[in-house]
Amino acid sequence: MPYPQKHPLRSLTDLEERALSQIVKASSERVDRVRRAKAVLAVNAGEPFTAAAALSGFKSADSVSQLVERFNRASTRRALHCRRTRAQSHLHQPGATAHSGDPTECPKSRAGSKRHLVA
């Protein structure tokens, strides 16, 4: 029998559960976001962290525990968000409006935009 969870998952809203299910089913979604969404949905279904880790492809239950703790603190989009890169850092400035308002969407990177080379 697993130990009691220090940070149990808060109850999900219908919108959050629907958004997580869409992320899991989407074939064009990033693999890391799908793994995180699977883990949160497994914990929400009553699975212990170890089983949720095995179902979603994480190596340890501690990873799922940290994800659940982050999910409890933040919104769905921020909890499943990929780590910010330098190319994306301009999108997180105050007043930036790079995303459509979808709570699960990651901001798009400008890494492929035109660049001027300085000699």
C-beta neighbour count of 16 within 10 angstroms: 20
- Number of structural domains, the chain? 1
Contacts of 110 (CB under 8 A, 6+ apart): 87, 88, 90, 91
Provide the domain limits for residue 76: 14-83
Domain assignment present for 98: no
Domain assignment present for 64: yes
Per-residue pLDDT at 119? 47
Confidence of residue 22 (pLDDT cuts 50, 70, 90): very high
* Residue 82: pLDDT over 80: no
Domain assignment present for 111: no
Output b/e per residue, 48-87; b: 16+ Cβ within 10 A.
bbbbbbbbbebeebebbbebbbbbeeeebbebbbeeeeee
- What are the tens digits of pLDDT across the range 89-112? 555 555 555 544 444 445 444 444
Domain assignment present for 88: no
Domain assignment present for 5: no
Least confident of 9-18, 45-54, 90-99: 90-99
Domain assignment present for 4: no
Q: Return the DSSP state at 110.
A: -
- What are the tens digits of pLDDT across the range 51-63? 999 999 999 999 9
